[in-house]
Amino acid sequence: MESLSFSEVDYVGCCGSSQFAKQMSLASPFPSLPNAISAARDIWFNKVDVNGWLEAFASHPQIGNTPSTKINKTQTSAQWSKVEQSTALATATSSTLEELSEWNAQYRQKFGFIFIICASGRSSHEILAELKKRYLNRPIVEFEIAAQEQMKITELRLAKLFSAKEMTAEARDHNPQVMMKKAEEDRVGIIGGHVIAASETSLGTPSQITMRTRPPITTHILDVSRGSPAAGVEVSLEMWKGTKPRPLFGEADIGGWSFIGSSTTDKDGRSDQLMSISEFLNPGIYKISFNTGKYCPAGFFPYVSIAFEIRESQKAEHFHVPLLLSPFSFSTYRGS
């Protein structure tokens, strides 16, 4: 697949932070959406400062208000905000909107910025309940949560940005040979998604974790065909315990995988704990499996399994292994 490049304006539309947009522009082009998301997470959490975070927060309309270019920095981001809040607005009553407005004002007075939440697919009642819950947080805790929610929004918008570019390219490419080559590359990409080696260079030197606050292996699922998290998907985690050191391609692995834990993704597409919180991971080969057939019965994949290896030198790191899914393709990446 040809690497895709976008302008700073495009990246501003995805995030709202000029610092983020500049760094993404410098890091581009990206060979795939997972590469772009991996870079985006590194830039957002490690290179954008407090002012950049606040700039991004300020680029969103208040939940319940009509998006416009006066707040959203681009016409595209205004349109995306409108779509992302469509479920909330469609389920809101006049009393709910009034209560949202009152709680938004209280929230802003306490924390100094508007309430940030990935609103895609969420009703007004869900958002209001989350607002009330997060209002009780300490400012330093809430600031971090808001940044995490902003990253979810950015990931969704990057997926839309890449999807639009790819559709434009497909419409332009009428040469049969070009189309055949692209189809072959897509097939290779799908097969390669089954075994993803943990990258040791994409994000520089791994950070040292002294005390975990979450399980060392986590995941979430993004439905890129709808531009929203995939909720209600069954997920399981296993570790290789076979007689051979590792599963081998083309050989049966019956009885080799040992079950660790399972969960179902929530409305944010994130799974609950798949394993206990421990300081160090046992080095070895792990496999996350997703019941995609139940989630998307008309799709191409009855299930998706992603195998990956954790080495001795990585046992103190965190491994976030997401699934970016559509009915006829999927991809993954090593997150943090």
CA torsion through residues 182, 183, 184, 190, sign: positive
List b or e across 23-43, with b for residues whose CB sees 16 or more CB atoms inside 10 angstroms.
Answer: bbbebbebebbbbbbbbbbbb
Confidence label for 210 from pLDDT (cuts 50, 70 and 90): very low
pTM: 0.54
**With 90 as the cut, is the pLDDT of residue 251 above it?**
no
Confidence label for 273 from pLDDT (cuts 50, 70 and 90): confident
**With 70 as the cut, is the pLDDT of residue 53 above it?**
yes
Phi, psi of 287 (to 5 degrees): -140, 125
Tell me the average pLDDT of the chain.
80
Task: Count CA atoms closer than 13 A to 288's CA, side-chain side.
Answer: 29
Is 326 in contact with 225 (CB distance < 8 Å)? Answer: yes
- Left (φ > 0), alpha (ψ -120 to 50) or beta: where does 156 sit? alpha
Which residue is catalytic, options 60, 174, 194, 320?
Answer: 60
Residue with tokens 């497909």: 170
Tokens of 284: 């070895």
Strand partners, 53: none
**With 80 as the cut, is the pLDDT of residue 198 above it?**
no
* Residue 174 is among the residues annotated as catalytic for this protein: no
pLDDT at 281: 87
- Separation of alpha carbons 160 and 290, rounded Å: 23
pLDDT at 245: 81
Nearest CA-CA partner of 159 in 316, 321, 4, 319: 4
Task: Count CA atoms closer than 13 A to 40's CA, side-chain side.
Answer: 28
- 299 vs 91: which has the higher pLDDT: 299
Confidence label for 147 from pLDDT (cuts 50, 70 and 90): very high
SS3 157: helix
- 311 vs 181: which has the higher pLDDT: 311
